[in-house]
Chains A and B, each alone.
Chain A
Amino acid sequence: MSETRLKLLQYITGIGLFFLVGIHLIVSHLSSGEPTAWESVSQRAASAGWMALYLLMLIFGLYHGIHGLRTMIIESIPRLPARYVDWTLIAAGVAIFIYAAYIPINAFL
């Protein structure tokens, strides 16, 4: 994928995170009632919509963060072989996704 398209995804995920994190913050911290109580958490965990939202937030956050980290690595250590940097970050991203996605998926199931 070209650098321009990777950057376009960075922008899209950034805008997406603004709304997704916004929903998360409003529901978890600003809504009335007790959103962090066990009943509320388990109720949300059982909802397919909430699971999709959390997975989407995870994917967007991971892409946005890892792409940002890649940019910093390219600029700060330009001598590092491009292929190693990319595959290391992809492997790290997949590992983090599997680990982090397990919680909402498991809770939903």
Chain B
Amino acid sequence: MEHENKQLTFRVQRYLPGKDKRPYMQEFKVPMKRGLTVLDSLLYIKENIDNTLSFRSSCRMGICGSCGVLVNNFPMLACHTPVEELHTDRITLKSLPNFPIVRDLVADLGPLFEKHRSIKPYRISAEAAEAQEPTAGFLQSTDELHSYVQFAYCVKCGLCMAACPTVASDAKFLGPQPLGQAYRYCSDRRDSGAKERFKQADTRHGIWLCHLAGACSEACPKGVDPALAIQLLKRAMLFDSIRLRKPPAPAETAGPSKETKPRVAVPEFTVK
């Protein structure tokens, strides 16, 4: 076997708030094997060498966005990064920059979620009653879906925020993830909340601090391209400020189907 007896050296950031003054690096040796990912290596270290090592992971398949870490100074999902693709035997792992450290490799993604919440990442209906009790479904063409679906693949892993040089210099900057998601909802014809999101993005630390470094799009493991979304949102906001923006026509609704069966009651799962 090509990888037989090959050892990888992992330099892993350790930090326990309250005990350590500052983060430090600790080395671990991990045997190489075919298909080994960075997350597999971390699990190996935790199970066989040091069970106090802290990191976050869940789905192991690049869907949940939990395992974002800085791998050799580039933000990546640990589960999505085969060690072979790093082309080196020495791998340095740190927690995501631009976020406070909870412990070891665990970054506090709270600031990301707060900013994300601030741009109202949900469909806003012009009619409150319809939003509460929808009477009909929306019709949507394939083209309309394609106009925003790329931006809907965001898993909120925070890699784009970790890569963004503006977030690094100004922690108040909204950042690529919330701004990208703002565009995602504004470009959806089922939504009527563009004005509200424009207001959130149009602040001193809002969208206009983006210098289009493009690091967010390079770091995104899902191909979302937040930099593109931000540029499209900038254009929409500029045209809106001089009243030249033509808002997308509201999506048509389909009446309730006559063939629809009545909703089945939710079964009770209480153990008796």
Contact = CB atoms under 8 A, between A and B. Distances in A.
Nearest to B209: A75
Interface string B165-176: 010011111000
A101 B209 CA distance: 31
A4 B169 contact: no
Nearest to A2: B202
A71 interface: yes
B24 interface: no
Interface string A33-51: 0000000000000000000
- Taking chain A's interface residues, is the majority helix, strand, or loop, or is none over half, making it mixed? helix
A71 B208 contact: yes
Nearest to B198: A4
Interface in A1-36: 2-8
B253 interface: no
Q: Classify chain B: how many residues form its interface, as a range.
A: 20 to 34
Contacts, number: 42
Given A75-B173, A76-B169, A78-B171, A4 B241 contact: yes
Nearest to A74: B204
Interface in B156-215: 166, 169-173, 198, 202-209
B173 A4 contact: no
A82 interface: yes
Contacts of A78: 169-173, 205
Nearest to A11: B238
B237 A4 contact: yes
A75 B241 contact: no
Contacts of B172: 78
B241 A74 contact: no
A76 B209 CA distance: 11
Nearest to B241: A4
A4 B209 contact: no
Contacts of A7: 208, 238
Nearest to B171: A78
B242 interface: yes
Contacts of B237: 4
A3 B203 contact: yes
B205 A74 contact: yes
Contact of A75 (B169, B202, B242): B169
Nearest to A1: B241
A39 B211 CA distance: 45
Contacts of B198: 4
Contacts of B207: 3
30 contacts: A2-B202, A3-B202, A3-B203, A3-B204, A3-B206, A3-B207, A3-B208, A4-B198, A4-B202, A4-B208, A4-B240, A4-B241, A5-B241, A6-B208, A7-B208, A7-B238, A8-B241, A8-B242, A71-B208, A71-B209, A74-B170, A74-B204, A74-B205, A74-B209, A75-B166, A75-B169, A75-B170, A75-B209, A76-B170, A78-B169
Interface of A: 2-8, 71, 74-76, 78, 82
Q: What are the 7 tightest A-B residue pairs by CB atom distance, in nearest-first order?
A: A4-B241, A78-B170, A75-B170, A7-B208, A4-B237, A78-B172, A4-B202
Given A2-B241, A3-B206, A78-B172, 6 more contacts: A3-B204, A4-B202, A71-B209, A74-B170, A76-B169, A82-B204
